[in-house]
Amino acid sequence: MIATILLCSVLFAAEPNEAGTETAKPQFQAKAGRDDSRIRFEQDGTTSVWDITSKTGIGHIILTKLIEKWPEKIVVRMHMKGLEFFQVTNDNLTVRWSVSNSGQGTLHSLWQDNKESPLPADSPFYADVKIVGKDGYFEVPLPSKMFEKNPKEIRLDWIDFYRR
């Protein structure tokens, strides 16, 4: 069952109304695969921050853009104890990150045309995962190359090493 998340904290874009004043317009629609998954949108300067929590540690969210173009910079914060894998998928490719359970290494891979290949550090799809705080979160800057063709929607999938 797909649960639609009604977002209490949504990132809005200003849009002029008939009176010439600006009104807020939602930038994204989010649909979660599980009831325990939550996403909150924030703006940090020029960066759109997508803050995700998932009680069970397994889930996905499909994001549909309601604006003309995706933000230039997007960072995803995953509030989990481990990150067996996190991936982002657009119309035709998937980038996947896997963080070792010691937190000492990250595997990067690209799925395209039903083939997986490792991502070298000089790839435009490469992005480092940052671990913020001991009991904090994983921070993943999404590669802007994923949004180059301006897909209508993207999908985020994850599995936590330590499911609750």
Q: Which residue has the tokens 């799809």?
A: 125
Q: Which domain holds residue 80?
A: 3-159
63 falls within a domain: yes
The tokens for 103 are 């937190």
53 falls within a domain: yes
The tokens for 140 are 């993943």
31-73 tens-digit pLDDT: 999 888 999 999 888 899 999 999 899 999 999 999 999 999 9
Per-residue pLDDT at 45: 87
97 falls within a domain: yes
Q: In whole angstroms, give the CA distance from residue 103 to residue 67.
A: 36
Residue 13: burial class (beta carbons within 10 Å; 0-12, 13-18, 19+):
middle
42 falls within a domain: yes
Is the pLDDT at 5 greater than 60? The verdict is: no
DSSP class of residue 2 equals: P
How far is CA 12 from its chain centroid?
A: 17
149 falls within a domain: yes
Per-residue pLDDT at 18: 58
Closest CA to 144 of 96, 81, 74: 74
Domain count, the chain: 1
Q: What b/e readout covers 106-116, taking b as 16+ CB neighbours within 10 angstroms?
A: bebbbeeeeee
DSSP string covering 23-39:
EEEE-EEEEESSTTEEE
102-154 tens-digit pLDDT: 656 788 889 888 888 989 999 999 999 898 887 789 999 999 999 999 999 99
Is the pLDDT at 25 greater than 80? The verdict is: no
164 falls within a domain: no
31 falls within a domain: yes
162-to-10, 24, 82, 83, 90 alpha-carbon distances in Å: 28, 38, 6, 8, 27
**Cβ-based neighbour number of residue 56 at 10 Å:** 13
Per-residue pLDDT at 162: 65
Residue 95: burial class (beta carbons within 10 Å; 0-12, 13-18, 19+):
buried
